[in-house]
Amino acid sequence: MSDSADDDTPMLGMDLPEATPQASSGPYRVLARKYRPQTFAELIGQDAMVKTLGNAIARDRLAHAFLMTGVRGVGKTSTARLIAKALNCIGPDGQGGPTIDPCGVCEPCRAITEGRHIDVIEMDAASNTGVDDVREIIEAVRYAAVSARYKIYIIDEVHMLSRNAFNALLKTLEEPPPHVKFLFATTEVNKVPVTVLSRCQRFDLRRITPDMLFAHFSAILQKEGVAAEAPAVWLIASAAEGSVRDGLSILDQAIAHADLESGDGGGMIGAEQVRAMLGLSDRSSIAQLMAAILEGDSGGAIDLARAQYALGIEPVAMVRGLMDLTHAVTLAKVSRHDDPALAETDRARIGDWAQKLGFAPLNRLWQLLLKGHDEVLRANNPLEHLEMLLLRVIYAASLPDPGELAKLLESGGVPTMPLAAPPAPGGSERAAVETMVDAPAAERAEPPASALTIAQIHHLLESTGYHQLALQVYDHLQLLELEPALLVYAATSALDADFARKLGEALLKETGSRWQVRVGDGEARPSLGQMKAAKLADNDARIRELPVVKAALAAFPDARLVEDGNNHHRSNP
């Protein structure tokens, strides 16, 4: 709805007027209307736009159409009204011209402020979307202003005009009569046709920063004679999300709540009162919940969540509280966290966690909470989903990354089953292979030819420049028999008839002994590559059975385990 459609609806965000607030005996006006800006100096957070408009007026380079964009409550419609006053102000003596500082006392200024000027027409595009409404404007622009310098059309939420209405307006918008100015306001500029945007001078109004809102609300509270704790005002400034109007509505509610609490109209606005009013989780309870998560206390975390739920805190609010705390700890690690609403004990707690936790666990914790937030928000039974989310976070947030997990497995840091079964009788070579496949090159000493294993033969070929031959041995050579100076292997399509001769010549050159290399029949052992693949598959299966990995894969179904190693001839599982 348009902010100008009804005098009883709250107006856009703004700073303090010079006028004294109305007496308490009159009808009550909400703060957003009571403290509406009457000059550009009172419009907070939009200095760049004010400077541009001031220079344009001073140099008499006024556009015929202006478009104000931005989120709700930052001053779009208020800016349009101020522009209307600036262009039509005649000064206290009636001799003034357009000015960036309208006097506010001349008849045009007073009439525009009160919404009764006949030449300043405000239109709500949300309820006047058709081409017929635009045709009325097109017909009316032909006539000069009745009493003002310019006839001004303020169209709020202009993006809601129909396509035909926009098309009907294009020609008039491009070449309006010199006495007409168009002022558009919208929260969704992407829905305004490019043909309209190109005909307007555009101003993007910024969100108001929390520190500006804090100062603005503090001044209003002082004028209203209401006491408030500084953290309470900071909470309201943060909850406003850059919108002055939203913040003033919350402030109105907080003042009413404080009055009811005290019963005498002079109550103090406290931080806990504002937190309860906004439905935010208690900060200390969220900190206890975070501590339980980090300590792995699943039972304690569920008990804390149920206690908060019994007090009326929504599960999704608890998740948001955990996300806010995770965000605060992460920023504290890079010295970028400064929340004035925090108590000293909360700052100390966040600083302590920032020192103890690394970026990787914090990032995983954030991702788990982010995914869980949507699940809890859409759940039919939010408490159950919250409890399952807490268990998932506890078991998965401390999960090491795949590289760390592989190192733990190799070093024995994680209890696992033996990587290979005991060798069968007569299988000493296979046991040696399984030992040597993962051994670093520096540890693979070159034994005499009579004691070589297939893994040592592969390493010997690789280290002496027989790379293609080494690759064939690793991937495709399936042993039938390996004795001193004798190597018998099973025939495969990957090994041609010349393979035996090449391997025998290489072994003769590198060991100084003549080797008999030939194809045989019988049940062959797997190649080095096949054994490595089987070992990795076994590792993968056992890793997936670890509780932390199960929880991680449940949280991220598209995740996959990746081997972290330096073996150039490994097979991916």
DSSP string, 270-321: -HHHHHHHHTPPPHHHHHHHHHHHHHT-HHHHHHHHHHHHHTT--HHHHHHH
| Residue in the block written with tokens 């209401």 | 226
Reduced to 3 states, what is the DSSP secondary structure of residue 182?
strand
Work out whether strand 120-124 and strand 151-156 pair parallel, antiparallel, or are unpaired: parallel
* Cα 488 from chain centre: 62
**What average pLDDT score do residues 492-512 get?**
87
**What average pLDDT score do residues 51-60 get?**
86
Per the prediction, the chain carries an average pLDDT of 78
In words, the CATH class of domain 210-278 is mainly alpha
In this prediction, what percent of the chain has a pLDDT beyond 70? Answer: 80
Determine the angle formed by the axes of helices 547-555 and 528-544, rounding to 10 degrees: 80
Lowest mean pLDDT among 164-168, 539-543, 558-562: 558-562
The strand order across the sheet containing 151-156 reads 120-124, 151-156, 180-186, 65-69, 201-204
What is the pLDDT, as a whole number, of residue 423? 38
Q: Which residues contact 441 (CB under 8 A, 6 or more apart)?
A: 459, 463
What is the pLDDT, as a whole number, of residue 319? 92
pLDDT at 415 over 50: no
Give pLDDT tens digits for 3-47.
433 444 333 333 444 444 444 456 778 888 888 888 888 888 888
Give pLDDT tens digits for 107-142.
889 898 888 899 998 888 888 778 888 888 888 888
Report for 16-25, 145-154, 334-343, 433-442: range of highest mean pLDDT: 145-154
Please say whether the beta carbons of 240 and 199 come within 8 A. Answer: no
pLDDT-derived band at 67 (thresholds 50, 70, 90) equals very high
pLDDT at 219 over 80: yes
Lowest mean pLDDT among 107-121, 152-166, 306-320, 528-542: 528-542
**What average pLDDT score do residues 412-433 get?**
38
Write down the domain spans for the chain: 31-204, 210-278, 283-396, 399-573
In this prediction, what percent of the chain has a pLDDT beyond 90? Answer: 6
The model's pTM = 0.55
The fold of 283-396 is Zinc Finger, Delta Prime; domain 3 (1.20.272)
Specify the CATH superfamily of domain 31-204: P-loop containing nucleotide triphosphate hydrolases (3.40.50.300)
What is the pLDDT, as a whole number, of residue 184? 92
Q: How many Å is the Cα radius of gyration of the chain?
A: 38
